Amino acid sequence: MVDFVRKYDGVKVDIKNFIVDREEIDKAYESVTKDEISALKFSKKRIESFQKSLLKRLKFRWYDKGKGVKVNNLTLPIESVGCYVPGGHLPYPSSLLMTVIPAKVAKVPRIVVCSPPMSDYRLDPILLVASDICEVDEIYKIGGAHAIAALAYGVESIKPVKKVVGAGNRYVTTAKILVSKDVAVDIPAGPSEILILADDSANPHFIALDLLSQAEHSPESVCGLVTTSKGLADHVISELEKMSKKTARAEIVTKALDSGFMIICDDMDEAVNFVNDFAPEHLEIVAKKLDRITAKIRSAGMIFLGSYSPVSAGDYCVGTNHILPTGGSSKVYSNLSVMDFVKRVSVVKCSKRGLSKMMKPISILARREGFVNHAIAVEERFKE
C-alpha cells in the first residue's frame, strides 16, 4: 500500500503509517480561521437537523386495529462505514460533512475516513478540523482506488468496513463498483454534473455563473443547458465567453465547458423529456410555471427551483446532501442519507385472534405455492 500511496497520491516523503494522530489534528486548528470553523459548524448543524428529521420518519409503529397485529419499524446502524473524501490538491471538508454526519445520526459505531494526502503527506488542516468537529473515529491519508480497496478488504493498520460511501473520480467510482461484490457500497457518484432547464424568463448571467461553478470541479464535469429560448442560449454563451477567460481555475473550467452542451427545444415538454432521459445529478429549473414543470420531472439527483436556489447552496449549507447519483443513475438511485447507514427491521407481534383472522389466506397462498408446511404451521395452532 505504501508504494501505491507514493505512486498515485504523489507523496514525496517517507511514510511511517497511514493514520492521522491526535497531534496532527490539534495542530491543524492553528491553520484554520474562526470563520472557517463557524462555517463548518453552521453546515453541520443544518445537515444534522435534516438527517434527524428523515430518521425520525423511518421509525414508526403500525397497528391493525381490532385484528391483533402490531409492527414496529426499527432502524439499526451498520457496524462500520468507510467514507471516501476527495482531496489531494484541494480539500473538500463539505464532502466529509456530507458522508460522516448522516452516519453519525444513524449512530454507526465506527466511522473511517480516507482522503488523498498532499505531496508532503499531510491532509489539509481544514479537513482535519472538520473530521474532529464531526467526531470521526479514524482518518487515513490514502486516496484513489487503493483507498477503496483498503476500506473494503483491510490493509496493514486499516481494518475493513461493512460499507464504503462517498464521491470520487472515475477511478474511485470504478473501484467501488469492483469491490461491491464483497462489500456494500452506496451510489455511483462520479464527476459532477449540472443541467439547467430554463425558458426566456431566466437570467443568463446567473445561469452562466452556475455552469461555471460546476465546471470548476474538474475537467470531467458535465455542464449543460436545455432551453426553449435561442435568445437565452445566445446570451448565456456570451456571458460564458466573457467570464471563463478571467475566472478562477480557468484551465479546468475551460476544459469542462469545451465538452459541455446547450440544447434548444421546441417546447417545454420536449425539454422535460430530455431531462428525464439524461437523469442529471443536479437539475436547476429556472422558468415560469415551476410547479407544473417540476411535477413532470422523473429523474434527477436533486432539483433546485428558481433564480435563487443555485447548486452551490445545496453543495454546502441547505442541509441536504451533495453526494448524488451521476452518469444517469438518478433514474434508480437517490442522494446519500441516513437511510444508507441503517438497516430497517420490522418487529411483528400477533395475538392469537390476529393470527386466526389471517389463517385462511395464509393457508390458501402457501398451499398454492407448494409450501404446505407453511400452512400447517399456522393451522395447527388452532386445532383443538
Cβ–Cβ under 8 Å, residues 173 and 179: no
Residues 219 and 217: their CA atoms lie apart, in Å, by 7
For the record, the C-alpha cell of 182 comes out as: 464483497
CA-based radius of gyration for the chain: 25
Residues 27 and 37: their CA atoms lie apart, in Å, by 14
Active centre residues (catalytic): 281-282
Residues 173 and 187: their CA atoms lie apart, in Å, by 9
Residues 106 and 129: their CA atoms lie apart, in Å, by 22
Instruction: Look at phi and psi of residue 152 and say left if phi exceeds 0, alpha if psi is from -120 to 50, else beta.
Output: alpha
For the record, the C-alpha cell of 251 comes out as: 484551465
Residues 292 and 272: their CA atoms lie apart, in Å, by 11
Tell me the backbone φ, ψ of residue 120, rounded to 5 degrees. -90, 10
Nearest-10 Cα torsion for 58, 328, 324, 308: -110
- Residue 6: helix, strand or coil by DSSP? helix
CB within 8 A of 324, min separation 6: which ones? Answer: 167, 187, 189, 281, 282, 301, 302, 330, 335, 336
Tell me the H-state helices in the chain. 2-8, 22-28, 34-58, 93-105, 125-133, 144-153, 170-179, 204-215, 230-244, 250-258, 268-278, 290-294, 311-316, 352-368, 372-379
Write the DSSP symbol of residue 265.
Answer: -
Residues 321 and 189: their CA atoms lie apart, in Å, by 12
For the record, the C-alpha cell of 336 comes out as: 446519500
